[in-house]
Structure 1
Amino acid sequence: MTFSGIPIAALDFYEDLAADNSKAFWTAHKEIYDAKVREPIVALLAELEEEFGSAKIFRPYRDVRFSKDKTPYKTAQGAFVGVTPGLGYYVQIDAAGLYLGGGYHHSSPEHVTRFRTAVDDEIRGGELEQILASLTAAKFEIGGERLKTVPRGYPADHPRIDLLRHKSLTAGKALGAPKWLETKRTATEVRKSWQAVRPLVEWLDRVVN
Structure 2
Amino acid sequence: MTGDFEGWPRAAFDVLLQLEGDPPAEVRRRCRRDREELVRRPMIELLNAVADADSAYEDFSVWGYGEVLVGAWQRQHAIVRLARNVELSVRFDLDGLEVGVAWWYAPAVQIERYRTAVAEPGSGRRLTGIVRKLEREGFVISGDLLKRPLRGSPADHPRAQLLRHRSVIATRPLGCDDWIHTPAAADRVVSAFSQLRPLAGWLVKNVSRP
In structure 2, how many angstroms separate the alpha carbons of the residues matched to 1:63 and 1:7? 21
Aligned to 2:160: 161
Rate the CA distance shift 1:8–1:109 in 2: closer, same or farther, 3 A.
farther
Shift of 1:145: 1.1
Distance across 2 between alignment mates of 1:39 and 1:146: 36
Unmatched 5+ residue regions in structure 1? 65-70
2-structure distance, mates of 1:103, 1:164: 16
- Partners of 1:15 and 1:130 in 2: how far apart? 40
Q: Structure 2 counterpart of 1:150, which letter?
A: P
Partner of 2:63: 58
Report the alpha carbon displacement of residue 142 of structure 1 after superposing the two structures with TM: 0.8
Report whether the alignment pairs 1:205 with 2:204: yes
Contact 1:87/1:106 (8 A) holds in 2: no
Q: Determine the C-alpha separation between the residues in 1 that align with 2:14 and 2:85.
A: 30
Q: CA deviation at 1:124?
A: 0.4
Contact 1:89 1:101 in 2 (8 A): yes
Query: Does residue 79 of the first structure (1) align with residue 78 of the second (2)?
Result: yes
TM-score (norm 2): 0.90
1:117 equivalent in alignment to 2:116: yes
Structure 2 CA distance, aligned partners of 1:97 and 1:87? 23
Count of aligned residue pairs for this structure pair: 203
- Partner of 1:98 in structure 2? 97
| Alpha-carbon distance change, 106 to 74 in structure 1, aligned in 2, over 3 angstroms | farther
Cα distance in structure 2, aligned partners of 1:59 and 1:34: 8
| Structure 2 equivalent of residue 43 of structure 1 | 45
Give the stretch that moved more between structures: 15-24 or 80-89: 15-24
Runs of 4+ in 1 over 6 A off after TM superposition: none
> Cα deviations across residues 138-193 of structure 1 (Å, max 9, x unaligned)?
11111111111112221211110110011111111012211100001000000000
What's the offset of the Cα at 1:115? 0.3
Q: Which runs of 5+ in 2 are unaligned?
A: none
User: TM-score by structure 1 length?
Assistant: 0.90
Correspondence for 2:6: 4
Q: Is the contact between residue 58 and residue 79 of structure 1 (CA under 8 Å) also seen in structure 2?
A: yes
Q: Which residue of 2 aligns with 1:146?
A: 145
